[in-house]
Amino acid sequence: MLTSTTIQRRQSEIRQTLAELASKETPSEDETRQMDALDTEYRSNESRYRAALIAEDTERREAGAELESKEDRDFAALIDKFELRQAALFLDEGRQMNGATAEVTQELRNQGGYRGVPVPWQALEVRVGETVAAGTPDPVRTMSTIDRLFPDSVASRMGASMVNIGVGEVEWPVTTGGAVVGWATSETGNVAGPTAYETVDRPLAPDHTLGVQMRVTRKALKQSGAALESAIRRDMNRAMAAEMDRVVFLGAGATGEPLGVIAGAGTYGITSTPVDAAATWGAVRSAIVTFMTDHAAGGPDSVRLLLRPEIWDGMDDLISGISISEWDRLSARVRNIVLTSNALAAPTGSPSESTALLSTSVGGVPPIFVGTWGAVDLIRDIYSDSASGGLRLTALATMDVTISRTEQLQILTGLQ
């Protein structure tokens, strides 16, 4: 029995006894001493009761958190055993799914509607022991409410967080105006006047659907066997990861694409500084100084830098008269440099010019949010390849992009 319950019952007994003693007009000395003792015990129990409630509330929270995380871990363990091969065979020949794959599919169906077979995002990750291209890192597991990005993802390396949403929209209110500090100019003068506490909403809406189509021949279905599992996952992984990385930064905000960070800099209000000169450490340093004056970063170690490989090629030439390059100066101070040919547009003009993006996380808040809704919907096209006995699969994923604070992002243009 809980300590608080025991104390509460004892308090009821004391109140009942005191009520009987208080009803007597002329209590004896023993009864008077008994009332004093009971009154002292009652007041002491009140303090013990409050302390017991605090202790038990802490225990309940810890137990609840453990149960909640245990449920997440159990479901994550099932997803680790999810087999895309079973989903493909179910769509191709109607073979029933079993084991962890069937349990995960049923759970996802209970959470939302799908025309085909729901496939959890984690199932698209490349698993340990599979033969993949060199240099692909292992997936990183994060908090239960914030899902994982794909291996080698540029967006994740630039500090973006993927948020998985069941249904509806999600938005983050970001403070843009608030308290003002000021001194009274005289003995009777007023301090700084009050200002409105203002916010701007950063919404994620399920308005953008990404589709991936795969064609599996009859020979592959009969010949590959269990190898089909890793082959389909790698194809879906690479196709979706590449396109998602591209739209996070270059999405046009039209023709079905979400609005990317660089393409939508003007809409988001992100600072864009034209360099219009050769890429140097000095240009990046000036942008980092802006981060520091905006209280977004404490130094270059907390800044991430996204560059085209061509910029690295141009910066790695030795500076005249000394045995180091601009790249050596940059990489010695900025530890998190990401090179990409997919998330940044190719250089144009003469001399060719490119764009760079700087980002930083502040107080655990990422600069970019990538929202995905539910799971990947895997649907079979029963008509297109019916004559050859092949399997045509379409994977549909709903996603959106938004930023948090504009001070956590900067763009440099005209890097030659």
- 303 is written with which tokens? 């800044």
Q: Can you give the pLDDT at residue 358?
A: 92
Q: Can you give the pLDDT at residue 39?
A: 84
Residue 247 pLDDT grade (very low, low, confident, very high; cuts 50, 70, 90): very high
**Would you say residue 217 has pLDDT above 90?**
no
pLDDT (average), residues 320-335: 87
Beta strands in 229-366 (DSSP E): 271-277, 303-307, 336-339, 354-360
Contact 374, 340 (CB under 8 A): no
pLDDT (average), residues 266-291: 89
CB atoms within 10 A of CB 129: 7
Is-cis flag, bond preceding 367, omega within 30? no
Whole-structure pTM over 0.85, yes or no? no
Which residues, other chains included, contact 127 with Cβ-Cβ below 8 Å and sequence gap of 6+?
80, 230, 233
Rounded to whole angstroms, the Cα distance separating 20 from 257 reads 78
CB atoms within 10 A of CB 282: 12
| 3-state class (DSSP) for residue 362 | strand
Listed residue (26, 350, 338, 18) closest to 154, CA to CA? 338
**Would you say residue 135 has pLDDT above 80?**
no
- C-alpha R_g of the chain: 31
DSSP code string of 367-391:
SEEEEEEEEEEEEEESSTTTTTT-E
Give me the percent of the chain exceeding a pLDDT of 90: 16
- 256 is written with which tokens? 């079905």
- Say which residue the tokens 């597991």 belong to: 141
Q: Can you give the pLDDT at residue 90?
A: 84
pLDDT for 76-90, tens place per residue? 788 888 888 888 888
Rounded to whole angstroms, the Cα distance separating 385 from 402 reads 39
pLDDT for 176-185, tens place per residue? 777 788 888 8
DSSP code string of 160-189:
-EEEEESSS-EEEEEEEE-------SSSS-
**Would you say residue 220 has pLDDT above 80?**
no
**Burial category of 374 from C-beta neighbours within 10 Å (exposed 0-12, middle 13-18, buried 19 and up):** buried
pLDDT for 35-90, tens place per residue? 888 888 888 888 888 888 777 777 777 666 555 555 667 777 888 888 888 888 88
Angular region, 374: left φ>0, alpha ψ -120 to 50, beta rest: left
Beta strands in 303-367 (DSSP E): 303-307, 336-339, 354-360
- Bridge partners of 164, per DSSP, are 372
Rounded to whole angstroms, the Cα distance separating 282 from 315 reads 12
| Among 107-116, 218-227, 266-275, the least confident range | 218-227
Beta strands in 13-131 (DSSP E): 117-119
- 80 is written with which tokens? 């680790």
Angular region, 196: left φ>0, alpha ψ -120 to 50, beta rest: beta
Contact 379, 343 (CB under 8 A): no
Rounded to whole angstroms, the Cα distance separating 205 from 373 reads 9
